[in-house]
Amino acid sequence: MTQDWKTRTKLVHTGARRSQYGEMSEAIFLTQGFVYETAEQAEARFVQPGPDEFIYARYGNPTVAMLEDRIAAIEGTEDAFATASGMAAVNGALVSMLRAGDHVVSARALFGSCLYILEEILGRFGVEITLVDGTDLDQWRAAMRPNTKAVFFESVSNPTLEVIDIRAVADIAHAAGAVVVVDNVFATPIYSRAVELGADVIVYSTTKHVDGQGRCLGGVICGKKEYIRKTVETYMKHTGGSMSPFNAWVMLKGLETLDLRVRAQATSAQAIAEALEGDPRLSRVLHPFLDSHPQQALAKAQMEAGGTVISIDLKGGKEAAFRFLNALEIFKITNNLGDAKSLVTHPATTTHQRLPEDQKVTLGITPGLIRISIGLEDTDDLIADLKQALDAI
Ligand SMILES: *Cc1c(COP(=O)(O)O)cnc(C)c1O
């Protein structure tokens, strides 16, 4: 029955567990431990917990389990494990399955912290990494080796919004026996078709669209039951990266409105990208669904909408970018995204500041580049704010 529900119904109901009080809203089980009625019950639970039997919040918790079930249901995976942040999810997804001597191929266009996990942490423990241009399938093919255990990429890259062909990369990876791990934040769980396209493991920072109101950190790893419960859960429960019950509750409430919010934000983002395109003060307007995007056809085949983020490149470089940012009235300068509030980020001096200059050039992170996360405000108000700030430079 629940299998047949559409996303919006699942977002409101799937995974709900009610206590003996029959509470309407999902309860926050703010408890780290669970009481056993007898010593025998404690012993049995440590041997093998039954369904909905909990031991310790680092291992699992009823509120967290509701969130895991709900996210797995909308993503279309057998199971999910909720983590303390998006980075705990990326780290857990990869480190839990890799060992010294393994090889990982990853797209180069990555969030700084993901690069740190791949190159610094995994490298330190004897895992070899090859970085490729994620949009170049020949580079993926050439990078595969007999010991390639996993491939990793952001399906839509931050901040230049390149689209990676999930199906094509998954085919290459699977032919080499490698697991496909996708960081799917920019696609959002609403527009994700990652499972259908061949991804094995899908990671989200729920800090972004799932909370969507700028309150809590969180992450989730989605995949097959065997991988989630045997590989990921074992690693996470012993290393301490599980999500707190309170944050899981905030995320559950976020999921109830996720579809409405993401669709409204994505519709607005596309209208704003179209309104900005051709402005003489901009050298580039980046959005996966714009006619000018080199991968528009792939984006349309892979996602139902272009997402909630656009990036623009100001011809006047850093100076113009800073004047533009400082002149905005509705948009807030910050480094989050996917929020109800519209947000702007200057990647070259903040999120990607530490990248060497040549890497910034390779990744298209120019001094004039600004990432814009479109929120829930009125689209015309947002366009007017962007236009007046462009006038101010
Ligand atoms: C934000 C983000 C992360 C990290 O998530 P946190 O919740 O901040 O730890 C990872 N990948 C992508 C693509 C992100 O946007």
The CATH code of the domain that includes 307 is 3.90.1150.10
Give the number of other CB atoms < 10 A from CB of residue 1.
4
- 254, 288, 321 - which closes a domain: 254
For residue 2, the model assigns a pLDDT of: 55
Distance separating alpha carbons of residues 65 and 67, to the nearest angstrom: 5
In whole angstroms, give the CA distance from residue 275 to residue 266: 14
Q: Of the candidates 228, 254, 280, which is a domain's last residue?
A: 254
Do 306 and 246 sit in the same domain of this protein? no
Contacts of 248 (CB under 8 A, 6+ apart): 61, 63, 64, 66, 67, 82, 218
Question: Is 183 near ligand 1, meaning CB less than 6 Å away?
Answer: yes
Asked whether residue 202 falls in the same domain as residue 335, the answer is no
Domain CATH for 226: 3.40.640.10
Q: Is the CB of 243 under 6 A from ligand 1?
A: no
Are 320 and 221 in a shared domain? no
E strands present in the chain? 79-83, 103-107, 128-132, 148-154, 179-183, 201-205, 219-223, 282-286, 309-314, 332-333, 343-345, 369-373
**Which DSSP string corresponds to 258-288?**
HHHHHHHHHHHHHHHHHHHTT-TTEEEEE-T
Residue 202 shares a structural domain with residue 75: yes
Q: Are residue 235 and residue 349 in the same domain, yes or no? A: no
Is the link from the previous residue into 159 a cis peptide, with omega within 30 of 0? yes
116 and 203 in a single domain? The answer is yes
From ligand 1's centre to the CA of 93, what distance in Å?
13
Q: How far apart are CA 224 and CA 109, in angstroms?
A: 27
- Looking at the fold, whether 196 and 134 belong to one and the same domain comes out as yes
Structure tokens at 209: 């669209």
Q: How far is residue 257's CA from residue 259's CA, in Å, rounded to a whole number?
A: 6
Using DSSP, state whether 91 is helix, strand or coil: helix
- Looking at 204, 219, 254, which one is the last position of a domain? 254
Q: In this structure, are 222 and 118 located in the same domain?
A: yes
Domain range for 60: 2-254
Ligand 1: does its nearest atom lie under 6 Å from the Cβ of 205? Answer: yes
The verdict on 279 and 379 lying in the same domain is yes
Those residues whose C-beta lies under 8 Å from the C-beta of residue 199, and which sit 6 or more positions away, are 166, 170, 180, 181, 182, 184
The beta-strand segments (E) located in 57-125 are 79-83, 103-107
Atom of ligand 1 minimally distant from the CA of 186: 13
Is 158 a pocket residue for ligand 1 (Cβ < 6 Å)? yes
Pocket probe for ligand 1: among 106, 111, 351, the residue whose CB has the most ligand atoms within 8 Å is 111
Q: Confirm if 208 and 337 have CB atoms less than 8 A apart.
A: yes
Q: Indicate if 223 and 287 belong to the same structural domain.
A: no
Tokens coding 279: 């402005």
Going from the Cα of 88 to the center of ligand 1, the distance in angstroms, rounded, reads 9
Q: In what order do the strands lie in the sheet with 219-223?
A: 79-83, 219-223, 201-205, 179-183, 148-154, 103-107, 128-132
Along the 393 residues of the chain, how does pLDDT read in single tens digits? 556 899 999 999 999 999 999 999 999 999 999 999 999 999 999 999 999 999 999 999 999 999 999 999 999 999 999 999 999 999 999 999 999 999 999 999 988 899 899 999 999 999 999 999 999 999 999 999 999 999 999 999 999 999 999 999 999 999 999 999 999 999 999 999 999 999 999 999 999 999 999 999 999 999 999 999 999 999 999 999 999 999 999 999 999 999 999 999 999 999 999 999 999 999 999 999 999 999 999 999 999 999 999 999 999 999 999 999 999 999 999 999 999 999 999 999 999 998 899 989 999 999 999 999 999 999 999 999 999 999 999
* Domain count across the chain: 2
Q: Is 185 in the pocket of ligand 1 (CB under 6 A)?
A: yes
| Residue 243 shares a structural domain with residue 273 | no
Q: In angstroms, rounded to a whole number, what is the distance separating the alpha carbons of residues 187 and 393?
A: 32
- End-to-end, the C-alpha distance of the chain in Å comes to 57
Could you tell me if 149 and 211 lie in one domain? yes
Instruction: Provide the whole-model pTM.
Output: 0.97
Query: 140: Cβ below 6 Å to ligand 1?
Result: no
Q: For residue 388, what are its two tokens? A: 């007046």
